[in-house]
């Protein structure tokens, strides 16, 4: 198991390096830069002043020099300073990352808590009314954009229930009830797609596993149906589901931006969108790299979990 874990960690290192290069180049390829935006209206700014501003902001030198400067500082925990307000990027991320992580984890919890039993029920009662309803619901869930659902939920609660989530972010450790009331609607909005995917994946894998010889053998020996489903079939059917959940962490981290804007949550997505509009390179690079790191570690955790669910995998 230790060797299996070491291999996965070593694979993550070149992945992070490749992602950092792509992030750096994509930010630099955006049309215009911060100097053009900030000094564009200042006709009196001379080329010397623009060059001095670039040097002060670390935008001078060749791309390899800028990249090495950024990566070397990033490894040391120095993410640079925001061009807009000179605030350390690390402080910006410390405030934004917990909000997005809480939103993503709550959305995944809702998706798994509902999608997993629905998928099992749909597989066990194949071609029944429950199965057809679950499959239709899954198709609807896959088809609904999260920002559209977020808007509908906000309109419904405000017009019908005369209630809107609190507009000011409250940490969960200060007031759990107020925090949950603020996160429940956006969490539902981002969870529906994942819920549908989990339900459909569980159903497909459960149907495949239930047809295996060892399951039929267990049933022939008189093992109760609930035991066969929970102990034998479900555990083996969870491996593809775990893959989906780990992959959805990265998707939800980046895809929750519009939902965060709709509900006024100052998370990573919201911060990243504003930074892109302002050409705030350090914030864009730091936020994107943080999303990539969380995504890679989530998938690393999933790889390690494979070895727990199926010990044969860790021996390969």
pLDDT in tens, the chain (316 residues): 566 667 777 777 888 888 888 888 887 776 666 566 555 555 555 666 666 666 666 667 778 888 888 888 888 888 888 877 778 888 888 889 899 999 999 999 999 899 888 888 888 788 788 888 888 888 888 888 888 888 899 888 888 888 888 878 888 888 889 889 889 999 999 989 888 888 888 888 887 777 676 666 766 666 676 766 666 677 777 777 777 887 788 778 877 888 988 888 888 888 888 888 877 888 888 888 888 888 888 877 777 776 666 655 554 5
Query: 3 in a domain, yes or no?
Result: no
Distance CA 267, CA 34 (A): 23
Looking at residue 187, its pLDDT comes to: 92
Looking at residue 188, its pLDDT comes to: 92
Looking at residue 253, its pLDDT comes to: 80
Looking at residue 57, its pLDDT comes to: 62
CA distances from 109 to 128, 136, 295 (A): 27, 22, 17
Query: 42 in a domain, yes or no?
Result: no
Contact 289, 74 (CB under 8 A): yes
Read off φ and ψ for residue 43, nearest 5 degrees: -70, -20
- The CATH number covering residue 265 comes to 1.10.3720.10
Query: 48 in a domain, yes or no?
Result: no
Query: 260 in a domain, yes or no?
Result: yes
Query: 50 in a domain, yes or no?
Result: no
Looking at residue 106, its pLDDT comes to: 92
Determine the angle formed by the axes of helices 89-124 and 268-277, rounding to 10 degrees. Answer: 130
Read off φ and ψ for residue 81, nearest 5 degrees: -125, 145
Domain housing 146: 97-314
The kind and range of the H/E element at 98 are: helix 89-124
Query: 45 in a domain, yes or no?
Result: no
Looking at residue 33, its pLDDT comes to: 60
Looking at residue 310, its pLDDT comes to: 61
- The rounded Cα 139 to chain-centroid distance in angstroms is 22
Distance CA 80, CA 89 (A): 6
CA distances from 155 to 150, 152, 214 (A): 9, 5, 51
Please enumerate in sequence order all residues whose Cβ is within 8 A of that of 89, keeping only pairs 6 or more positions apart, or say none. Answer: 79, 80, 81, 82, 282, 283, 286
135 is written with which tokens?
Answer: 């499959």
Contact 281, 60 (CB under 8 A): no
Contact 93, 287 (CB under 8 A): yes
Structural domains counted in the chain:
1
Number of H helices, E strands in the chain: 15, 0
């Amino acid at each position: 198991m230790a060797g299996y874990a070491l291999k996965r960690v070593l694979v993550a290192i070149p992945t992070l390096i490749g992602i950092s290069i792509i992030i750096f180049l994509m930010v630099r390829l955006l049309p215009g830069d911060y100097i053009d935006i900030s000094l564009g209206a200042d006709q009196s700014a001379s080329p010397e002043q623009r060059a001095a501003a670039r040097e002060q902001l670390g935008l001078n030198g060749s791309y390899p020099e800028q990249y090495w400067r950024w990566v070397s500082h990033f490894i040391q925990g120095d993410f640079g300073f925001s061009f807009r307000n000179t605030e350390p990027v690390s402080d910006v991320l410390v405030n934004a990352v917990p909000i997005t992580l809480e939103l993503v984890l709550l959305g995944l919890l809702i998706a798994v808590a509902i999608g997993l039993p629905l998928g099992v029920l749909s597989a066990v009662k194949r071609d029944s009314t429950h199965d057809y309803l679950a499959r239709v619901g899954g198709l609807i869930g896959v088809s609904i954009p999260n920002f559209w659902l977020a808007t509908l939920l906000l309109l419904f609660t405000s017009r019908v229930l005369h209630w809107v989530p609190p507009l000011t972010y409250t940490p969960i450790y200060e007031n759990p009830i107020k925090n949950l009331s603020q996160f429940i609607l956006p969490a539902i909005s981002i969870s529906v797609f994942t819920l549908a995917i989990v339900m459909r994946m569980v159903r497909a894998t459960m149907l495949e596993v239930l047809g295996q010889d060892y399951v039929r053998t267990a049933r022939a020996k008189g093992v109760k149906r609930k035991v066969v489903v929970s102990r034998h079939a479900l555990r083996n059917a969870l491996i593809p589901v775990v893959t989906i959940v780990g992959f959805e962490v990265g998707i939800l981290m980046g895809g929750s931006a519009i939902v965060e804007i709709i509900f006024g949550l100052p998370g990573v997505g919201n911060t990243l969108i504003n930074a892109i509009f302002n050409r705030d390179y350090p914030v864009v690079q730091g936020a994107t790299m943080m999303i990539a790191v969380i995504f890679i570690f989530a998938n690393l955790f999933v790889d390690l979990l494979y070895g727990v669910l199926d010990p044969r995998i860790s021996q390969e």
